[in-house]
Amino acid sequence: MPSEVPPLFQPDAGQTGLQWRPATTADLDNWAELIARTAAVEHPVWFEKRADLVHVLESTKNDPRTNTLLGLDRDGVARAYGRITKNPEGDKATGMGCVDPDWQRRGIGSAVLAWQEAQTRRRFHTDKAAGHNSAPPRLRIRTEEQHQHQAALFRSRGYDVVRWFNEMHRPLSGPAAKAAPAARLESGLELRTFDASLHEAVRLAHNDAFRDHWGSEPRDEETWRFTIEEPTARHDWSAVVIDASTGEVAGYQLASYDPASAVARGFKEGYTELLGVRRAFRGRGIAQALLTDALRRFTAAGMDIASLDVDSANPTGALALYLGMGYSPVNRSMTWEKTL
């Protein structure tokens, strides 16, 4: 007989000074304000907005009633939050969260992390019992190099850095700006602006393109819908390369623009969320053509910077491609991991 499912774990209210419960739609403004308040002090490159949290609460794979946690003070103000996500067939869970800067150094971050670990064990237990996965439970959390207080917490709890990522910029305005490099597609390959008719074909192409990338898992319809409906998505700055003979998607570039980030960082940023080329089409200059097209679209829209993130050990040689296209690394982030 399968062992009993571990009970839900909650941080201690007496030790933390907060009341803990799952997030609900009634908490959206309170929750988003907590994240924004924390970001105003810690200055992350990106942080979740209200519309992102709506998607969190809509998830069917990661029930918010068991996979989200809010810590509320006596006045009902959100002071801390945590959540995890996991695919049933996946070999890892991913955690996110924050603590109000005025409530840090009270052990609350440790309490949130303990909850994330307990819920990760619970999810792996449930998935194993359902025959989905027998891997040992693992939790991954990504942080920016600048946030040393987070690094100290993870080291103290036995986490190790398992991957580094580079945020890269290419100037589009000012004295450092350069014209977009020339890049032409081979005969038989066509570039089209991304639109609704291509959503499913690009999802399948993405799963094919990223199946050899570290940490990547296939995106199902729900996850992909959240991707393309992300509030900062700019489909008019995104493009797809089609094989004219078959109609197959060979590669794609999905872009975004965050007006709030432009205010906080002091420059307008055309961001490449995803860039992928399917294995059968690699080595034909498709990535260069998509990036060149993106640079032109960003420039025409008045962006100051083109940016993207890249795995420092990307197996397709993406880092070298971006350096050759005029991008330079400006920030680093890392993925922490612990086998529980």
Domain boundaries, the chain: 13-158, 167-339
How big, in percent rounded to 5, are the helix, strand and coil portions of the chain?
Answer: 35, 30, 35
Angle between helices 221-228 and 199-209 (to 10 degrees): 110
**DSSP helix/strand/coil, 295:** helix
Query: Backbone phi, then psi, for 89, in 5-degree steps?
Result: -90, -5
Question: What does the pLDDT look like over 112-142, one tens digit per residue?
Answer: 999 999 999 999 999 888 888 788 999 999 9
| Percentage with pLDDT > 90 across the chain | 84
Residue 93 burial (C-beta neighbours within 10 Å; 0-12, 13-18, 19+): buried
Domains 13-158 and 167-339 share a fold: yes
Per CATH, the number for 167-339 is 3.40.630.30
208-231: b (≥16 Cβ within 10 Å) or e: bbbeeeebebbbeeebbebbbebe
Mean pLDDT across the chain: 94
The answer to whether the beta carbons of residues 161 and 303 sit under 8 Å apart is no
Strand runs labelled E in the chain: 19-21, 68-72, 78-85, 93-99, 138-144, 160-171, 189-193, 233-243, 249-256, 269-277, 305-311, 328-339
State the pLDDT confidence band at 3, using cuts at 50, 70 and 90: low
Q: What is the CA angle 168-169-175, rounded to 5? A: 155
Class of the 13-158 domain? alpha beta
pLDDT number for residue 180: 81
Dihedral (Cα; 78, 335, 260, 323), 10-degree rounding? 180
Residue 212: band (very low, low, confident or very high) from pLDDT cuts 50, 70, 90: confident
> For 63-89, what is the mean pLDDT?
97
Q: Report which secondary-structure segment, H or E, holds 40.
A: helix 28-42
With bands split at pLDDT 50, 70 and 90, how would you rate the model's confidence at 169?
very high
What's the rounded Cα separation, in Å, for the pair 303 and 298? 5
- Tens-digit pLDDT profile for residues 284-336: 999 999 999 999 999 999 999 999 999 987 766 788 899 999 999 999 999 99
Q: What is the mean pLDDT of residues 183-204?
A: 96
Its pTM surpasses 0.85:
yes
Instruction: Say if residue 158 is exposed, middle or buried (CB neighbours under 10 Å; 0-12, 13-18, 19+).
Output: exposed
Which pLDDT does position 4 carry in this prediction?
67
CA-based nearest residue to 169, from 324, 334, 333, 322: 322
Q: Which range has the worst mean pLDDT, 32-41, 209-218, 297-306?
A: 209-218
Tell me, what amino acid is at 140?
A: R
For position 131, what pLDDT does the model report?
82
Angle at 298 between CA 249 and CA 53, to 5 degrees: 75
Neighbours of 183 (CB within 10 A): 16
Cα–Cα dist 237/293, whole Å: 9
- Asked if residue 126 lies in contact with residue 300, where contact means CB atoms within 8 angstroms, the answer is no
